[in-house]
Structure 1
Amino acid sequence: MDWFPLTLFCAFSLAAADTLTKAKLSDYSARELAFVRLTLAGLLVSPLLLSQPFPELPGVFWGWVAAIVPLEILAMLLYIRAIRDYPLSQTLPYLAFTPVFVTLVGYLLLGESVSGDGFMGILLVVTGAWLLNFDQAELREWRTWVNPLTHIFRNPGPLTMLSVAFLYSFTAVGGKGAMQYMAPELFGPLYFVLVGVALLPLLMKPLSIRRIWRKPLPVFGVAGLMGIMLITHFIALEQVEVAYMIAVKRTSLLFGILFGAFIFRETGLRSHLLAGAVMLGGVFMIAAS
């Protein structure tokens, strides 16, 4: 299958996993949900590690992995708290800031220049974030025009997801570095397995693991959707440049807004979709740059 429909299916699977987590597992702790979404999902995709022989891996590969695995776990814990405790339409769109942070980190740390398209993409993402909180401003009072952006830092839901986007900017760079030494379709399952194993010490408190199995159907549903997301992610990644694939995958924010409106009765569908579409347009411009 071509990379584009695969990536859309990947984005849909991620949004569906988020929705099922919020709908059926909202009484689980962040640690328990991280086990479901990372450790259990990693177990489900682990047979893929037998699909081809392992290459010889240099120390620098393991250095990249050691650097990003803790960030991945921290990002997932924050991600879970954001989607579990706050509206999807007010949290998921902020994942669009991941490529913005990647661009800015590259500029600040590596001296990489930002092209005109990249700069316009950043402005579009920020504009989308402004539109997402449009109700915080009074158009007739210019002093309030900055309120939609400062609202992000006063609201724990958006701020938490913005932190996730910042962490993902580093895991994206680290994952790209690691995949210089291993094919994406093999790196993906290995990475999830390693993250899942690294997460286990957080679950060693009494009853933590036993409590997870009290809702087996939604637990395996979420883990299965995350596994599908992972498989389609790395199959699509084989066929196209990383930036384009990640840009299309961010359509998950639009799916999340729709799920939030139709399943959780979140209000403001039109304005949220407009804001999400503007942010997604910015992501595509950054990818194209």
Structure 2
Amino acid sequence: MSWFVLALLCAASLAAADALTQKWLARHTAAELVLVRFTLAAVWLVPWLLLHPPHRPAPTFWLWVGTALPLEILAMVLYVRAIRNTPLALTLPYMAFTPVFASAVGWLLLGEKLSTQGLVGVLLVTGGAYVLNLDHARLAEPRSWLAPFAAMLRERGSRLMLAVALIYSVTSVQGKAAMQYMSAMEFGALYFVLLGTLTLLLFGVREPASLRVLMRPGPGALIVAALMGLMVVTHFLALERIQTAYMIAVKRVSILFGILFGALLFGDRRLPRHLFAGGVMVAGVALIVLQKGARP
């Protein structure tokens, strides 16, 4: 199977997991949802880990992974809170800001300059976010033209997803560094099983009542967990076939899938505008992540 098909399947499975989380699991606590999406999903991935046992990595590997795992859990707590009760069209598109934040971090800390292509990508992501909140602006009232940006921060789900994007801009760098020490297949299995185990230990101590979702998961939780497992497998299978930039550019199509799935499940009177805005943001992501001219 080609990397492109795998990346699209990865994007679709992630978007489906998000939509079904909102549809079937909205009454669960954030801790329970994180356990479903990490720990229960990790159970599906144990056979993959047994088939692809990792070799013993260098100590530096564990430093990168050890600092990334707590951030991953924090990001997922915020993520599930964002998608649980807020329309997907007003939350998922903000994941497009991850490469924007990563570019900003690189500029501030490493002095990396953004190319013209990357700058256009940042403007597209920002412009798409503006279009998502266009209802708050009035053409005849210049004072209201900046209102869509303020609306992003007022909407709790959007605000949470921006925080997730910021965290992922850090963990993406950590994950890339860790993957220098083993193959994508080995890393994917090990990382997600470790993530699921740490999640289990953390919430088992802090919120033991949340473990009931693992004892009696129900069909909805099992399907969401299976979709998350499929997302992980296809993510790393695609990475073995193509450079990261190409894979991430296609994976962000999950934004459009999420908007479509949300509209199908919950209805959306502004679907054309939301799809247009999401498409603009996905195009921006593609320009940013491909700005260095990677070759397949």
Q: Which bracket does the TM-score occupy, shorter chain normalised?
A: over 0.9
TM-score scaled by structure 2?
0.95
Matching residue of 1:224:
226
Pairing of 1:43-192 with structure 2 (within 5 A):
43-192=43-192
1:235 is aligned to 2:237: yes
- For 1:274 and 1:203, the matched residues in 2 are separated by 42
1:280 is aligned to 2:285: no
Q: Where does structure 1 differ by over 6 angstroms across 4 or more consecutive aligned residues? A: none
- Which 10-residue stretch deviates more, 89-98 or 147-156? 147-156
Shift of 1:215: 4.8
Matching residue of 1:26:
26
CA-based RMSD of the aligned residues comes to 1.2
Shift of 1:225: 0.4
Gaps of 5+ in 1: none
Matching residue of 1:267:
269
- For 2:280 and 2:9, the matched residues in 1 are separated by 21
Matching residue of 1:202:
203
User: What percentage of aligned pairs have identical amino acids?
Assistant: 52
SS at match of 1:233: helix
Structure 1 residues 53 and 28: CA distance shift in structure 2, 3 A: closer
Shift of 1:135: 0.7
TM-score scaled by structure 1?
0.97
Contact 1:213–1:219 under 8 Å retained in 2 = no
SS at match of 1:180: helix
- For 1:113 and 1:46, the matched residues in 2 are separated by 41
- Which 10-residue stretch deviates more, 123-132 or 195-204? 195-204
Matching residue of 2:8:
8
Shift of 1:229: 0.4
Structure 1 residues 45 and 215: CA distance shift in structure 2, 3 A: closer
- For 2:17 and 2:167, the matched residues in 1 are separated by 20
Number of equivalenced pairs? 289
- For 2:215 and 2:270, the matched residues in 1 are separated by 36
Shift of 1:282: 0.3
SS at match of 2:28: coil
Gaps of 5+ in 2: 292-296
Contact 2:96–2:285 under 8 Å retained in 1 = yes
